[in-house]
Amino acid sequence: MLDKKSNDGHYERRKQENKQSKNERYERLEQDNASLTKQLNEMHEIRQENKSLKTQLSDMNKELKKKKKDHHNSKAKQEVNSKLMNLEKELKNCKLELDLQKGNIEQEFLKEKENYERTIDNLELNLKKQKKIFDQALQQSQERHSKNIDILQKKLSDKGNGLSELEKENAKLRFEASKYQSALGVATNTRLGDDDQNHSVRLKQDILNLQKSLENYVTHLKPNVDIDIEKIQTLAQEYGCLNEINIENKPFIKAILQRKVLDQVKFLSFILSDHRGIDVSLELDIDLKTRELTNLINIFSKHRVGTDKVIDVAAIKIRQEVYGILGNRGFNDTICFDADGTSKTFTHEFIIFASRELNNMMNQYRIINDVARKEQVEAMAPKLIQDIYKLMWFRFNVQEPIVNLHYFEKDDKIDPNVMKGNWNDDDDDINQLRVGICYFPLIGRDLTSSNRKVYTLANVISTSYNQFG
């Protein structure tokens, strides 16, 4: 029993101790909680105060910026005011100077005005004096003419019908003079009529037609046409083109063959000199005689005294008439007469020879494998040769002044004013281009003069500098 009571008492004490311990911990927790709550409140108050301080700081910054701006504006305003004051001073000085200049100018103007008025007065006075003198002279002249008219009328009345005879003779002389002037105008006029085949417009068109015929004769070197590149290379070297040429460069090959045709036709004409005095070289004989005659007329006009005006253009008129005839009939078919007087026409003997030579020459460079096409192309040769001679030999000499032609040399600079070719006139690199080959010449009058008249531009193949040697 004692042990049980003793245990119960011990348990109660422990229970009381635990309860007291719990109460103490609870009180400490409440104290800690109260302390934390207080700290939180203090932190909140600090945050609020910090926020307020930030707001105040922002306001102070704004105020500071405003004051700085006001201070800056005030300083700028002071500078502007200072400049304005300086400008006002300068303006006043300028105004004073202008007023002074104005006063000087007004004084000079008044002086000039006075001088001008005095000059006007003097001129008017002189004019009145001269008018008086002129009126007196006019009156005296009228009186003299009146007396002369009276004397002439008296003489005419005395002569009677003599005046009418003089009038008839005078009319006859005037008619003769008008006929002479008309004939003189025709004789001295070297202009070509609009319907003349040698008029510059028609001549230019015929030159363009010749270029087309030349291109067709050389052909476009399409399939069924073999090209001897080795011989083309040799030909190119004759014109100063030293770089290697290949089959793909057909535009250049066509161009150099066209140039060769023109040069060959010109060369063949020299053969006529060996056959002068017979029918085959009649055109050459007329050409040489015309040159001789016109030269003699020019010498005659300079070494013989005279007042006639026809001789000044006689040589020109003869040249125009003769070469106009040659340009129309030169190297046309020839007419032969049989013993019974019947006539027959044949192709000009020299044209036959020149055509054969030209075709043989061209067949060395390009071989047309299609027989029909070859015959068609070779048949173009006679007409092509005739057109070249008629234009470049004869019809150019009909023009006044005589039309000239010019081949540009290899490596000459490209000039679109006198050339056309494979370039763009707006190309910035055109100054870097050079003439590779000039295959049709520049044609015109006074080509070396500033007053030149170009009929057709030169046809050239352009290259970059040294591209073709």
Given this model, what pLDDT does residue 184 score? Answer: 44
Q: Report which DSSP code applies to 126.
A: H
pLDDT band at 373 (very low <50, low <70, confident <90, very high): very high
Name the pTM for this structure.
0.60
Question: Under a CB-based contact definition with an 8 Å cutoff, are residues 462 and 434 in contact?
Answer: yes
For 273-323, write each residue's pLDDT tens digit: 999 999 999 999 999 999 999 999 999 988 999 877 778 788 899 999 999
Query: Domain extents for the chain?
Result: 1-46, 198-402, 403-469
pLDDT band at 56 (very low <50, low <70, confident <90, very high): confident
In the predicted model, is pLDDT for residue 168 greater than 70?
no
For 392-401, write each residue's pLDDT tens digit: 999 999 999 9
211-216 own/partner pairs: CB under 8 Å, 24+ apart: 211/440, 211/456, 211/459, 213/380, 213/383, 213/384, 213/387, 214/258, 214/261, 214/262, 214/384, 214/440, 215/254, 215/258, 216/377, 216/380
Cα distances from 364 to residues 229, 232, 235, 433, 463, in angstroms, run 10, 9, 11, 31, 26
Given this model, what pLDDT does residue 187 score? Answer: 46
Given this model, what pLDDT does residue 19 score? Answer: 77
Cα distances from 68 to residues 53, 76, 401, in angstroms, run 22, 12, 90
Determine the angle formed by the axes of helices 349-365 and 381-388, rounding to 10 degrees: 110
User: How many other CB atoms are found less than 10 A from the CB of residue 469?
Assistant: 16
Higher pLDDT, 161 or 243: 243
Lowest mean pLDDT among 51-65, 172-186, 258-272: 172-186
Give mean pLDDT, residues 39-55. 80
Question: What is the percent of the chain where pLDDT is above 90?
Answer: 45
Tokens of 401: 């002044």
